[in-house]
Chains A and B, each alone.
Chain A
Amino acid sequence: MSLAWRIARRELRGGLRGFWVFLACLTLGVAAIAAIGTVRGAIEAGLTEQGAVILGGDAKVRLTYRYAEPEERALFESMGEVSEAVDFRSMLVTGDERALTQVKAVDDLYPLYGEVQLKPAMALDAVFAGRDGLAGVAVDPVLLARLGLSVGDTVKLGAREFAVMAELLRMPDSAGGNFSLGPPTLVASEALDGSGLLAPGSLFEADYMIAMPEGVDLEAAKARVETALEGSGFRWRDRRNGAPGISRFVERLSAFLVLVGLTGLAVGGVGVSAAVRAYLAGKTEVIATLRSLGASGGLVFRVYLLQVGVLAALGIAMGLVLGGALPLIFGPLIEARLPVPVDFAVRMRPLAEAALYGALAAALFTLWPLGQAEHIRAAALFRDAQSGVKGWPRPVWIVVCAVVLAALVGSAALLSGLAMLTLWAAGGIMAAFVLLVLAALGVRVLARWLARRMRGFKTLRFALGAIGGPGREAQAVVVSLGLGLSVLAAVGQIDSNLRNAISGDLPEVAPSYFIVDIQPEQLEPLTGALLARDSVSKLESAPMLRGVITQINRQPALEVAPDHWVVRGDRGVTYADALPEGTTITEGQWWGEGYAGAPQISFAAEEAAEIGLKLGDTLTVNVLGRDITATITSFREVDFSTGGLGFVLSMNKAALEGAPHTHIATIYAEESDEAAILRDMAMAYPNITAIRVRDAINRVSEVLQGIAAAITYGALATLVTGGIVLIGTAAAGEKARVYEGAVLKTLGASRAAVLGNFALRSALLGLTAGGIALLTGIAAGWAVSVFVMETDFTVAIGSALAIIAGGVLATLLTGLMFAWRPLATRPAQVLRARE
C-alpha cells in the first residue's frame, strides 16, 4: 500500500462530514443522466423488439391518395401476406354533434401482428359484424366522451350509420403512424361502401402491410419495391425501424435532455469544487504539518486526490444506482404515458455513459483546487493557517484540466449522436460559466466600489461590503444559481416563442375551418350556402391534388435538393386558370386565361430560392401515378403563416383539370356561428371533413406542451442541483455569519439590522444570478429560435421576471434558512470560542 493511500485512508477515517454537497451534486448529476439514458434505452429496445408490431407488418408500403394498382398489389403479395388499411380524416356524427376523427379502415387480415385492445375485450370480427344490420366500429374513448356516446350507440360516418361496438384503447400499429388531429375510429373497409367517403380525389393514405417469412432480406425487398414504384410517391418502412419518426424524436429529445443533465453536472461542479476547496482549507494545518515533516507537494496532491477520488467514486456509484433504479421503479407509470412499447431493464451503456460524464466532471472541478494545495507550505503552520488554497496550480494541472474538459465535451458530442448541437450547447454552457464567473468578479468589484459610496445607507453598505469583500460566497452563489437559472430561462424563452410561433403568428382573423374533400360538384352549392350566411366574412377555395416532385430539370429531385422539405414526400398541388385574386407574382409571367399549351408551373418564390430554382427550369411532378413535366414560368409570394390557403405548386388548369381531385376551402366566420356552420355543412355534405383551426392549434400546442414539460423537468433537475450548491454555500458560510453577527451585536447592531444585512446581501446576489441567467437564457433562446426553429424571437417578459424573482427568492430563502443561528447565538459564546 503506497504511503499516499495510507495517509489518505487515515484522513478518511474522519468521516464524510462536510462532503454532503459534494456527494449530492455528483449523485444528482450522474443519476439524471443515467435515468435519461435508461429511459431512452428502454424506448429504443421497445421500438426495435416490437418493430414489426408497431409497423403492422415486417414491411409497410404507404401510398398517398390512391390504392395500389393490381400489379403493385401482386408484387406485395409475392413477398408475403398483405393486409390493406386506409387512413383518412372524417367527421363522426351523432345527432347534431360532430367531431373530427382519423378513420382507419382495415381488411379482415388486420392486424397481422399484435392485437387491438378493445373495451369490452372482444374479437375484431365481432366489432365489424356490428348489430341490427348495422356495421360496427370501435371508437377512441376520448372521442366517445366528447360526443356523449357510449358503446351500443349509433354514429354516422359520411352517409352511413354504424354501431359503436367497443372503445378503441390501442391499435398495435398506432405508434408508427403520423401526427393526427383527431382521435381514431376503426372500421372495416368494406363497410365504407355507400358512405360517400373515399370518393375519387379524396385525401387518404393506403397502407400495405406485409408479413414476410422469416429470413427475408428486407433490403432486397425494399429495392424491388423501389424499382417497381419509382416516382409514385410511396413510402417504405420495415421492422428494422418501425417508427422512424419516434426513434428520431426520442433520440433528439434524450440528447437534448443529456445536455441539460450535463449542465446539471456543471452546476454541481461548482458545489463539488467549493466542497473540495473548503475541505482543503480545513486541512491547511494538516498539510502544513505533513510538509514540515518532509512530505513533498506531489505526495500531498496524491493524498488528497485519492480521498477525493474515493468520494467521487462513491457519488458516482450512488448516482448510478439512483439513475438506474428510478426508471425501473416508475417504469409502469412512464410506459402508460408513452405511445410506444418500452422495455425497461438495467442497461450498461447508459450507466457507463453517466459514469464517464460523472468521473470527468469530478476530475475537472477538483483538480484545480487539488493542484493549488500543492503550494501549501510548512510556514502556514505559523501564520495564515485558515486561509485555504489559493494561487494558480502548476501548469501541468492546467493542461490536465483542459484535456479533461476536452474529453468531457468530446465524449458528449460523440455519444449524444448530435455532435454539432452538443458542441454548440457545450460552448453555450462554457460561455455562460465564464460570463457568470466574470459577473461574480464584476459584482464584487462593483459592490466594493459602491460600498465606499453608500456611506449614508448602512444596511446596504454592509451588504455590499460583504459581497465585495474577501471570500468566495459571491462567486459560488452567482455561478451555481446563475447556471441553473440560465437553463430554466432558456427553456422558458424557447417555450414561449414556440407557442407564439404557433398561435401568436396567426393573423388576427384566422380561418375558422379548413374543409377538405369537397367534390367538384359540391363546391358551388357549398360556397354559395356559406357565403349567404351573415357570419361568414370570407371564403377561399382551391382545387387540391397531391403530387410528388420527382425530378428537377430531369435530375432526381432528392439529389438536387436532398434536404428540402418540398421534395420530401407528397405536397399539395393546385391549379388555376386566371391569376387568383391577391396573388403577387415576384418574377416571370402568369399563363394567360384559357391557356391550354404545355404544362406550366408557378412556384413559391421563397422555397424556389432555397432550392435554387429559376425561371425556365422544369419540374416533373407525379400526380396519381402520372408524371407531369412542366416548366416554371413564374414565382409567387406564398405566406404560410397567414393560416389561409398556400400552395408551393400551382399549375395551369388544363394540366390537371382532368385528374380526379377535390377542393379545399377555408372559411372565415364569427366564432359564435362556427358550430352551426359545421352542423349545416355536415348535414348537407356528409362526405366532407371540416378541421377546426382552433382545435388543430390546440392539438399542436398539447404536443409541444409535453415536450416543454420534459425539458422543464430536466431544467428543474439542474436547478435543484443549483439549490443544493446554494444551500451548501449558505451552510458553509453559516460559521462566518455567526461570527459576523456576534461582532455586529457586540458593536451595537440590533438583530433586525443583522438580519436585514444578511437578507439584503442574499437578495443582491440572487438578483445578480437571475439577471445574468436572464441574459444568457435570452441569448440561448434567441439562438435556438432563430437558427434551429427558424421563428421570430421576442423576449418573454413573464418568464424573464419569474427567473429574476426566482433567483432573489432562492438566495433569500437559503440565506434566511441559515440566519437563525447567527441571530440566536449570544456574542460571548461565539467570540470566546475564537479566543
Chain B
Amino acid sequence: MTDPVMRLKDLTLSLDGNAGVVEILKGISMEVSAGETLGLTGASGSGKSSLLMVMGGLERATSGLVSVLGQDLTPMGEDGLARFRRDHMGVVFQSFHLIPTMTALENVALPLELAGAEDAFARAEAELAAVGLASRGGHYPSQMSGGEQQRVALARAVVGRPQILLADEPTGNLDAATGEMVMDLLFDLRDRHGATLILVTHAPELAARCDRVVQLRDGQIISDSLAMAAQ
C-alpha cells in the first residue's frame, strides 16, 4: 500500500448553532491512500459533508489531527489553508459554487490565476474543452444549465492538477441522466490525472464505483469497506 495522502486522528468538530453547541464529528480516525477513490456515505446529518470540509481545510477541526500530504492542517491560518488548497486540492460542490460575475472560462482559470500561472487561460480553455464546453467559455453561470455549471465546476476543480479531489454530492442538484454524465466525467478526469478522489454521496450506485466506502452515522464511522476487506 502507498503512503497515505490524508491522515485523520481523533478528529472532532463542534459547531455553535442556534440550539447551542452541536457535536458534528466525534472522534474520526482514518487514512486515505494516494490514488484511492473514497466514497463517504451516510444519512442526512451524519456528518459526511462536514468531514469533507475538514479534510479540505474549509472547516477547522475542534480537536484531533488532520494531516494532508504530510502537513498538519490544524495550526494553519486561513491564508495558509487557502494556499494549501490552491496548490494541492480541487473541490466540487453540490451547488456548483461558480462565481456569478465571472464567465465559465474565467471561473475555470481562477485557481491557476491565483497560483500565478501565466498560461492560465490556455489551460482553462483546454480543460473546458475536456468537459465538452469549449463553446461556452464566454457565458456567465446564469446563462447555463445546472449540468453545464457542474461541468464548469469540475473543470475548475481539476485544472490545477490537484493531488486530491474533493466532491460534495456533485450530482445532488442534477437530474439522473445529467448526474450520470457528470459522474462519468468526474471519474474519467480522476483517472486521467490520477488524483485521490474523496466523494460524498447519497447514491449507492455512485458509492459502488469507489474503491472504498466509509459510512458515517451521527458523526462516527460505522463501517469502512477497506477494514472489512482486511478482516
Report yes or no: B101 in contact with A835, Cβ–Cβ below 8 A: no
Q: How far is the CB of B54 from chain A (nearest CB, A)?
A: 8
Contact partner of A835 among B78, B95, B102, B110, CB < 8 A?
Answer: B95
**Does B142 sit at the interface, judged by CB under 8 A?**
yes
B50 to chain A, nearest CB (A): 8
Q: Could you tell me the distance in whole angstroms from the C-beta of B105 to the nearest C-beta in chain A?
A: 9
A458 to B86, CA, bound (A): 15
Contact status of A746 and B140, CB under 8 A, knowing A826-B60, A832-B53 = no
Cross-chain contact A747 with B86 (CB below 8 angstroms): yes
Q: Answer whether residue B224 sits at the interface, using C-beta atoms and an 8 A cutoff.
A: no
Tell me how many residues of A have a C-beta within 8 Å of chain B.
Answer: 36
Q: Is the CB of B86 within 8 A of A831?
A: no
> Does B99 lie at the interface of the complex (its beta carbon under 8 Å from any beta carbon of A)?
yes
A6 contacts the other chain (CB 8 A): no
Which chain B positions have C-beta within 8 A of A834? 95, 97
- The residue in B94, B110, B116 that gathers the most chain A C-beta atoms within 10 A of its C-beta is B110
* A509 at the B interface (CB under 8 A): no
Instruction: Say which residue of B58, B79, B120, B172 sits within 8 Å of A827 (CB atoms).
Output: B58
* A740/B106 in contact, CB under 8 A: no
Do the beta carbons of B106 and A748 come within 8 Å of each other? Answer: no
Q: Cα distance A387–B142 when bound, in Å?
A: 9
Given contacts A455-B120, A834-B97, contact A752 B79 (CB under 8 A): yes
Interface string of A528-554 (1 = CB under 8 A from B): 000000000000000000000000000
How far is B55's CA from A302's CA once the two chains are assembled, in angstroms?
51
Measured CB to CB, the nearest residue on chain A to B80 is A750
Q: How far is the CB of A477 from chain B (nearest CB, A)?
A: 14
Nearest Cβ on chain A to B2's Cβ, whole angstroms: 25
Interface contact B97-A743, CB-CB below 8 Å:
yes
Q: Are A466 and B82 neighbours in the complex by a CB distance under 8 Å? A: no
**CB neighbors of B among A152-205 (8 A):** none
In the assembly, what is the distance between CA of A451 and CA of B94, in Å?
A: 28
Q: Does the CB pair B102–A746 fall under 8 Å?
A: no
B156 within 8 A of A: yes
- A18 is an interface residue with CB less than 8 A from chain B: no
The answer to whether the Cβ of A751 comes within 8 Å of any Cβ in the partner chain is: yes
Q: Does A599 have its Cβ within 8 Å of any Cβ on chain B?
A: no
Please state if B86 and A748 are interface contacts (CB–CB under 8 Å). yes
Closest to A736 in B: B100
Q: Using a CB-CB cutoff of 8 Å, which residues 712-754 of chain A contact chain B?
A: 736, 739-740, 742-753
Judge if A95 is at the interface, Cβ distance under 8 Å. Answer: no
* Cα distance A465–B102 in the bound complex, in angstroms: 6
User: Once bound together, how far apart are the Cα atoms of A831 and B49, in whole Å?
Assistant: 11
For B84, give the chain A residue with the smallest CB separation: A748
B91 at the interface (CB under 8 A from A): yes
Inside 8 A of A751's CB, which chain B residues have their CB?
A: 78-79, 82
**CB contact between A469 and one of B82, B118, B140, B168 (< 8 Å): that residue:** B140
Residues on B with C-beta less than 8 A from A375 are none
- Considering the complex, give the chain A residue whose CB is closest to the CB of B79: A750
Q: How long is the Cα–Cα vector from A458 to B112 in the complex, in angstroms?
A: 10
User: Any chain A CB within 8 A of the CB of B121?
Assistant: yes
A653 at the interface (CB under 8 A from B): no
Say yes or no: A465 contacts B101, CB within 8 Å. yes
Interface residue? A456 (CB, 8 A)? yes
Contact B156 A828 (CB under 8 A): no
Shortest beta-carbon distance, A236 to chain B, in Å?
A: 70
Q: Is B85 part of the contact surface with A, judged by Cβ < 8 Å?
A: yes
Q: Is the CB of B156 within 8 A of A747?
A: yes
- A471 CB within 8 Å of chain B: yes
CA–CA, A736 to B101, complex, Å? 10
Check: A461 CB closer than 8 A to any chain B CB: yes
Instruction: State whether the Cβ of A470 lies closer than 8 Å to any Cβ in chain B.
Output: yes
Known: A465-B106, A826-B58, A835-B168. A749 touches B82 (CB 8 A): yes
Are A831 and B102 in contact (CB-based, < 8 A)?
A: no
- A471 near B156 with CB under 8 A, answer no
Set of chain B residues within 8 Å of A384, measured between Cβ atoms: 142
How many angstroms between the C-alpha atoms of A744 and B85 in the bound complex? 11
In whole angstroms, what is the CA distance A471 to B78 when docked?
A: 29
Q: Are B118 and A456 in contact (CB under 8 A)?
A: yes
Q: Are A471 and B100 in contact (CB under 8 A)?
A: yes
Taken together as a complex, chains A and B put the C-alpha atoms of A451 and B101 apart, in Å, by 11
Question: Within 8 Å CB of B85, what residues of A?
Answer: 746-748
| Bound-state Cα–Cα, A744 to B169, Å | 20
Given contacts A469-B101, A748-B87, contact A458 B114 (CB under 8 A): yes
A740 vs B84: C-alpha distance when bound (angstroms): 19
CB within 8 Å of B: which A260-302 residues: none
A351 to B197, CA, bound (A): 69
Inter-subunit contact A748/B59 (CB<8 Å)? no
Whether the pair A748, B118 counts as a contact (CB closer than 8 A) is no
- In the complex, A834→B102 CA distance in Å? 18
- Kindly provide the distance from the CB of B138 to the nearest chain A CB, expressed in whole angstroms: 9
Residues of A within 8 A of B91 (CB): 746-747
Contact (A469, B102) CB under 8 Å given A461-B113, A748-B115: yes
Looking across the interface, which residue of chain B has its beta carbon closest to that of A473?
B101
User: Nearest chain-A residue to B172 (Cβ)?
Assistant: A835
Closest 7 CB pairs of A and B: A748-B86, A469-B101, A828-B59, A828-B58, A750-B79, A828-B53, A458-B113
Known pairs A458-B116, A743-B97, A751-B82 / 11 extra A-B pairs, C-beta < 8 Å: A469-B100, A740-B101, A747-B91, A747-B110, A747-B111, A747-B156, A753-B114, A826-B60, A827-B58, A828-B50, A828-B59
The 25 listed contacts between A and B (C-beta, < 8 Å) are A384-B142, A455-B121, A458-B113, A461-B106, A465-B102, A469-B100, A469-B101, A743-B97, A743-B98, A743-B99, A746-B56, A746-B85, A747-B114, A748-B111, A748-B114, A749-B82, A750-B79, A750-B83, A753-B114, A828-B50, A832-B53, A835-B49, A835-B94, A835-B169, A835-B172
